[in-house]
Amino acid sequence: MNNILITGGGGYVGSMLAKYLAKKSYNVTVYDLMMYEPQLFEKDDKIKVIKGDIRDQNLLKKNLPGHSIVIHLACISNDPSFELNPTLGKSINLDSFEPLVKISRDANVEKFIYASSSSVYGISKEKNVTENLDLKPLTDYSKYKAICEKILFKYSTNNFCTTVIRPATVCGYSIRQRLDVVVNILTNLAFNKNEIKVFGGKQLRPNIHIDDMIRSYELMITSDTKLINKKIFNIGFDNLPVIEIANKVKTIIGKNVDLNLVPTNDNRSYHISSKKIKDELGFTPLKNIDDAILDLKNAFENGLLPNSLNDAKYFNIETMKKIKLK
């Protein structure tokens, strides 16, 4: 199982996953529109790049044969980007999904790993938000993620292993950086503006360091199919109030950072339990939010994220507005 195709391999998580797996001597193919960093892999001869749309079934049929594993990350990511053009979002996040699964199965792919989202649970008052709870997605983005999970499991067989990952919000440094997720937003503002504005603050947000997110995908690649076939795993270990995250940022950045609390009517809290992946597969995180903040701080200090307050490439919704994808 050395030939891996990553849809969305040019994204925030996908780009780091591709680099990581290539270093581990996997044969990695990135299938991506490459909208954010077109030259991302130009100097990397270990990674094959197919610049393509996930809706292009003919291109998929041409390129999927020969791959033993598909890791499906490609989507219009997060609610604001999705809501910018709901028709586009549906065509990419939902309508293209079942054809991709069928083409993968027909190409003799052995494992199909799908990146869903922990947002499928909606707001839960349960102390432990586990994989067996009823799903109550609040947005179309989350609803389509939940629908795709059900579609995928219809195709599960002993020869076509299907696994769903429900990640928390990923944080930390990437070669295709996002600065529109909570830990990264706060760190960017603290380092570059010396101020953080927190709306509410008591709301819980689940997070996972990008390195641990990548390790979880590697675990799915290497795990026996009997342990992961037709299974769902939450991935997210830091369930912290936003105000606590902000205080961590302020401490680690180490400057005179002004922290301003702003009242809000939106006090939605999200949290998840990752006990299942620990108990069944032995997975535990090696890093935490503090590490993510420190990694970003080092990236800013070393000039790896220039113009981080204004460049559209760091903010999914701004790039979506700019390119006007149809």
Which residues in the chain come in under a pLDDT of 70? Answer: 1
- Taking alpha carbons only, the member of 47, 8, 3 closest to residue 26 is 3
Q: Please give the Cα distance from 36 to 43 (Å, whole number).
A: 17
> How much is the pLDDT for 1?
65
The torsion angles phi and psi of 193, rounded to 5 degrees, stand at -125, -5
**Tokens at 69, concatenated:** 């594993």
Q: Please give the Cα distance from 269 to 239 (Å, whole number).
A: 10
> How much is the pLDDT for 267?
73
Could you write out the DSSP letters of every residue in 87-137?
HHHHIIIIITHHHHHHHHHHTT-SEEEEE--GGGG-S---SS--TTSPP--
Tens of pLDDT, residue by residue over 132-174, are 999 999 999 999 999 999 999 999 999 999 999 999 999 999 9
CA dihedral 117, 120, 124, 129 (to 10 degrees): -50
> How much is the pLDDT for 234?
98
Which domains does the chain carry? 3-323 (3.40.50.720)
**Tokens at 157, concatenated:** 């067989």
* 121, amino acid identity: Y
> How much is the pLDDT for 78?
78
- The H helix count followed by the E strand count for the chain is 13, 12
* Sign of the dihedral through C-alpha 220, 8, 2, 152: positive
**Tokens at 95, concatenated:** 């309508």
Q: Which residue has the tokens 């996997």?
A: 26
> How much is the pLDDT for 6?
98
Q: Please give the Cα distance from 164 to 72 (Å, whole number).
A: 10
Q: Please give the Cα distance from 81 to 5 (Å, whole number).
A: 25
Say which DSSP state 36 is in: S
Q: Please give the Cα distance from 245 to 17 (Å, whole number).
A: 25
The predicted model scores a pTM of: 0.97
Q: Please give the Cα distance from 157 to 79 (Å, whole number).
A: 32
Which stretches does DSSP call E strand in the chain?
3-7, 27-32, 47-51, 69-72, 111-115, 161-167, 169-171, 195-199, 204-209, 231-235, 238-241, 258-262
- Taking alpha carbons only, the member of 238, 121, 144 closest to residue 183 is 238
